[in-house]
Structure 1
Amino acid sequence: PSGVIVDSSGNIYVADFSNHRIRKITPAGMVSTFAGTGIRGYADGTGTTAQFYYPAGLAVDSSGNVYVVDHGSHRIRKITPAGVVTTFAGTGTKGFANGDGTKAQFNNPTGVAVDSSGNFYVADSDNHRIRKIEYKVP
């Protein structure tokens, strides 16, 4: 495991780095695969149809969405409480470029955090930077 968070309901989420999955542990101790096939790759989808490429850091927002640093795919992924996985930020090509959401580039990111205003902070490891993704009112 490489990352762990707890949501407001007491569920624990674990980034299972080498197994390419996000695991969920309920307050009652039930362990399940929340997202990821277990096969290294990249695919959006629901629950165990989605793929991750070395998931690392995790964050959770006030709506219960879980954000995953997908280290090997150079992306930040979002998982809704219903288990729908989408790409939140990153092109999938390693590099350094600012831009909205999926136009930004990261280089082996390792951590993510969200503040009370909904802004995100990404540890962009191989670019040696902390990057900020600003919340914009839709």
Structure 2
Amino acid sequence: LYTGFDPAGSTIGPSDGYSFKMGTIVAASGDVYIPHSIFHYVIRVTPDGKGFDQNPYAGGLGLSAYKDGLRRTEARFQEPVAVTRGPDGALYVCDAGNFVIRRVPIENPAVGEAAKVTTFAGSGQKGRESGKARFARFGILDTAAFDPDGNAFVLDSKVNHAVRQVSKAGQVFTVAGGAGEGVRDGIGRQAEFGDARFLQRAPDGTLYVVDRTGPRGTYYLKTIKPANR
């Protein structure tokens, strides 16, 4: 085990158990950024496995809320489930319990702790409304992936059964699904998803979605090919 967290305490180290979901990211430096959905924060683990001084990188240990912050550790999350890295180098956190995507700058010596955590998309209220990113609504977010131009693709599956896009222009719209739960293939919003669990983008622009649906909980690997809106 590379590193871990003791759910009964706050020890971070190479020999402890850890409770987190699958949306982690490895930076060019070798640091690993991990969302802890139970204790509502993001931790940075260094290549030596010692973590970040046993303190959250962003958010507060066990402090559940929705708050952007001037300092990373002043921000508050509620069940962050996945972290991805944007083309601007920042971390983007699927903050499932708050129905938003948060932007967390990777620490830069020039700005240090003043790096501000902000809301990238979502109003903080559950729903399915599209439109301007700050006023759009999501269900329970799962994972996200960026293209090189800065467009984000987000798996909004637990409530809306859809893949949404946050464009580089700051607009949110549905790419695929959204009409209800099911297994049907189709073009755009004609497609259906069940309890989709993971989204990844290939270099050619194809989106791959791991979907779990049906009475037996069958897993499917679905593809979404890039196309004009």
What's 1:43 paired with? 129
Letter in 2 for 1:64: G
Q: 1: CA distance between counterparts of 2:81 and 2:168?
A: 21
Aligned pairs for 1:12-91 within 5 A? 12-27=91-106, 29-71=115-157, 72-91=159-178
1:112 & 1:93 partners in 2: Cα distance? 18
Q: Residues 63-102 of structure 1, C-alpha deviation per residue, up to 9 Å, x if partnerless?
A: 1111111021000000012321110110330001111111
Runs of 4+ in 1 over 6 A off after TM superposition: none
2: CA distance, partners of 1:137 / 1:105: 20
Relative to 1, partners in 2 of residues 1:119 and 1:37: Cα closer, same or farther, differing over 3 Å?
A: same
1:106 has 2:193 as partner? yes
Query: Structure 2 counterpart of 1:135, which letter?
Result: P
Select which of 80, 83, 87 maps to 1:8: 87
Amino acid at match of 1:97: R
Partner SS, residue 55 of structure 1: coil
TM-score with structure 2 length normalisation?
A: 0.57
Preserved CA contact (<8 Å) 2:87 2:149: no
Highest relative contact order (Cα 8 Å, sep 6+), 1 or 2? 1
* Contact 2:198 2:210 (C-alpha < 8 Å) held by counterparts: yes
1:136 shift after superposition = 4.3
What amino acid is aligned across from residue 84 of structure 2 in structure 1?
Answer: I
More strand by share: 1
Residue pair 2:179, 2:190 contacting (<8 A) in 1 also: no
Q: How big is the alpha-carbon RMSD for the aligned residues of Structure 1 and Structure 2? A: 1.7
The alignment status of 1:135 with 2:215, answered yes or no, reads no
Bigger share in helix: 1
Aligned partner of 2:202 in structure 1 is 115
Q: Distance in 1 between matches of 2:119 and 2:228?
A: 32
TM-score (norm 1): 0.92
Identity fraction in percent: 31
Unmatched segments (≥5 aa) in structure 1: none
Quote the Cα distance in structure 1 between the aligned partners of 2:192 and 2:140: 17
* Structure label with greater radius of gyration: 2
Counting matched residue pairs gives 138
